[in-house]
Amino acid sequence: MNEPDFIAALRALPLHPGARGLADDCAVITLGSETLVITHDMMAEGTHFRSGADMADVAWKLVATNLSDLAAKGAEPLGVLLGHVLGRDDARFLEGLREALVAFNTPLLGGDTIAAAGPRTFGLTAIGRATHTPVPARSGAQLGDAVFLTGPVGCAMLGFEGASDHHAAFHRPTPRVAEGRALAPLVSAMMDVSDGLLLDAFRLAEASGVTLALDPAAIPVADRTRLEECIRWGDDYELLFTAPPAATLPIAAHRIGTVAPRGPAPLTLGEIALTDPASLGYRHG
């Protein structure tokens, strides 16, 4: 199975209402007066990081990518659970983990540690508290809304390629937690950009039953001469969101398009209609 097929099969299993049909970044569970936001992401050697990567960077990124999902829900991180496979440079992994937890003010709650042969895989579950309800979803974009992006895409790609001024963008990204909390009361839909701007915009449009009409000239990118690569590469962890065009945003953001009635394509880039998500960004399988 590829990733979309596997997720579609999972939807046939018993699901909690908070799972949002497995169509969102996180599970959202209301307990009394509080709403918990829960997410789980994994990183695999050879897929998400090179075999010789600094394990401190791997640990940092593992935390950051999970907190980015909480950011897209406007959630305040409460703590994380770690799944760790023992191996080389465990001390460096712990150092990077400590640095990330301190930087993002997020404590460790527990987890599990194993020894196993073969490439290493790490998992992290992040738990947060919603700071605004209803909690933003991918599915709320409204006709006439503007489409916004918090920052440039393509920085992680350049960092992966070795550009020194973009090293941190790939190896030690910063989740937009504060921005997500500030935006949560105002947005109609929101998600983080992890698999490529085009693919994630396609997903938001599909979930909302609309077409996102993006203006390629308005999209902020790390290298304008490589626009197509920048908007497909992923790993940027900026926030993609929709909001009324007249809304007063509490943070700086780039308006990159408009929410239009659903047409034959969920996504347009200028005059180009995009209908095949397989060509738009990174998918597993």
pLDDT band per the 50, 70, 90 thresholds, residue 285:
low
CA distance 252 to 222: 17
State percent of the chain over pLDDT 90. 93
Tokens of 149: 């992006």
User: Mapping DSSP to helix (H, G, I), strand (E, B) and coil, where does residue 102 land?
Assistant: helix
Examine the pLDDT at 70 and tell me if it is beyond 90: yes
Instruction: Look up the domain containing 86 and give its range.
Output: 3-130
Establish if 64 belongs to a structural domain: yes
Q: Judge if 156 and 253 occupy the same domain.
A: yes
Same domain, 143 and 39: no
121 and 163 share a domain?
no
231, part of any domain: yes
Q: Identify the band that residue 277 occupies on the pLDDT scale cut at 50, 70 and 90.
A: very high
The three-class DSSP label of residue 96 is helix
pLDDT tens string 49-68: 998 999 999 999 999 999 99
State pLDDT tens for residues 17-27: 999 999 898 99
Tens digit of each residue's pLDDT (9 = 90 or more) over 76-104: 999 999 999 999 999 999 999 999 999 99
* Whether the predicted pLDDT of 283 surpasses 90: no
- Residue 284 forms part of a structural domain: no
Is residue 193 domain-shared with residue 98, that is, in the same domain? no
d(CA 48, CA 27): 23
Tell me the per-residue pLDDT of 152-199, one tens digit each, with 9 for 90 and over. Answer: 999 999 999 999 999 999 999 999 999 999 999 999 999 999 999 999
Distance of CA 238 to the CA centre of its chain: 8
pTM over 0.85: yes
How many domains is the chain partitioned into structurally? 2
Residues 92 and 116 in one domain: yes
- Euclidean distance between CA atoms 208 and 186, whole angstroms: 17
Same domain, 178 and 260: yes
